[in-house]
Amino acid sequence: MPPPPLPPTHTCRFPSCYAPRPIGRHVIPLPLPMHGIGGAKDLPISPQLAITGAVAALVISFSVLALAWRTPRYDGNPDGPVAGRRVPHWMDGVLTSRGFAVAARVLGMVVFLYSAAAAVLGEDLLTNPFFGIFYVWWWIGLVFASALLGPVWKAISPVRTINLAFSKISGSDPDVGLLAYPARLGHWPASLGLFAFVWLELVYPYSTELGPVRLWCAVYVAVMLLGGAIFGNGFYEKADPFEVYSTLIGKLSVWGTHEGRIVVRSPLANLSTVVPTAGLLAVVSVLFGSTAFDSFKDSPFWVRFSQTNELVAGLENGSTIADSLALLVFSAAPALVFAGAAAATMTGPDLRRRDLPAILAHSIVPIILGYIVAHYASYWFEVGQDTLIKASDPLTTGADYLGTGDWQVNYWLSYHPTLLANIKVGAVVVGHVVAAIASHDRSVALLPPRHQILGQLPLLMAMVAFTSGGLYLLFAA
């Protein structure tokens, strides 16, 4: 039974939310209104008022921090909030036990093998659940799971499990590779992997065909296994795009470790434990910029430009080239703006300005989470359900392996546009305010007293630009 139609103001941004129209054994994707509110007309307030209020909230937050937050509460204070509150011994014993780790690995491998079966043996139709698993569960669901539970992908990663199995067979140590991972590479490989994913998702014209998506996954697994064999498990911590992504978002959860024990602490305390690493700014910039591009590519300006510009129309695959360049600009722009603001910050003799972008890049993580919630919360809620329904029949044979085949998608969020609008705007604003707090706390720990206020003004201006630009794109989509 097809799902009921949704309000006509909805828009679809992801390839997996298209409805298939069979032509032979293939499909032509037809846009269906599947997720999120459509634009400014659905919001209970005007775009100008929302942007003005958000900027005012950010400026007021900075002013309050400047007056009331004169010493660092997280950075450089390991015995303070970062120490957290220890969980009961029985809970710590369960969460750190070998049995729990094995159960997580088994869960990850079962989902991996089930998805691989759908990818290899399933039909090349958009009803194949592999598309939803790839674009919705893996990309968006991983964010929400990590924000609630911590670094989920590190716990269930199938590539880590396969690497562990190979190490057991060969009698080697999975933590030790043939070579030491070069520190100068840092997170740069992860940023390239994330850009490759968002390019496939948002730009590549054949992203709704099974072959290219299957090939992307095969290359990912091959590169990860090769890297793990050469550099050991340290490779995954630095270079696996999904582990780096999940771990960064997991810093906003309440779960952490201190002196070998599981602790509960505030997300700000967790966030302060992010270690500055080469390529960290590139990672957060790709995550932030690609989400903004996802809105921009649906804006009337870009749609009109892509369809009417003579230069674009005159090139073979002109729209793909234009989208690729735009995605590259959007992915690089946050890094350039933030690096410029950080470099303009006044420092003391013991701190080099060129080191500041990596040191302060952790403060962008709350902004990323805010944008993910604003853009994809309803999409994950609805299309995630639809994927679970389709996953019960991975080979399109009429099977119902999971017992979910006759379930119906609940579209409750989409039928409450005012609530959804408030969630969207609120997520963006809260993300930026938390980012300002994280940036301020680290700044007062690093900057000389005479520069702790004026020295942060360039960073405040960058945050204002991110807030107003993000909300503008949210309304324009």
Per-residue pLDDT of the chain (477 residues; tens, 9 = 90+): 444 444 333 334 344 344 443 333 333 333 333 333 334 444 556 677 777 877 888 888 888 887 778 788 887 665 567 778 899 999 999 999 999 999 999 999 999 999 999 999 999 998 999 999 999 999 999 999 999 999 999 999 999 999 999 998 988 888 888 899 999 999 999 999 999 999 999 999 999 999 999 999 999 999 999 999 999 999 999 999 999 999 999 999 999 988 888 999 999 999 999 999 999 999 999 999 999 999 898 888 888 888 887 777 667 778 899 999 999 999 999 999 999 888 787 666 677 777 888 888 999 999 999 999 988 988 999 999 999 999 999 998 999 999 999 999 999 988 888 888 888 888 988 998 899 899 888 888 887 777 667 777 888 888 888 888 877 877 766
Please report where in the chains the tokens 């992801």 appear, as a residue: 14
Q: What is the DSSP letter of 193?
A: H
Which tokens belong to 326? 């735009």
**SS3 call for 28:** strand
Q: Which of 342, 358, 197, 333 is nearest to 281 (CA)?
A: 358
Which tokens belong to 272? 């302060």
Question: Residue 152 to residues 106, 138, 318, 379: CA-CA distances in angstroms?
Answer: 13, 11, 39, 21
Helical ranges in 9-157 per DSSP H: 47-68, 89-95, 98-121, 129-132, 142-149, 152-156
Between CA 147 and CA 141 the distance in angstroms is 10
Q: pTM score, two decimals?
A: 0.87
Between CA 102 and CA 106 the distance in angstroms is 6
In whole angstroms, how large is the CA radius of gyration of the chain? 23
Other C-beta atoms lying within 10 Å of the C-beta of residue 420: 21
Write the CB contacts of 272 (distance below 8 Å, at least 6 apart in sequence): 74, 75, 82, 362, 438, 441, 442
Between CA 149 and CA 373 the distance in angstroms is 16
Q: Quick check: 379 and 34 in contact, CB under 8 A? A: yes
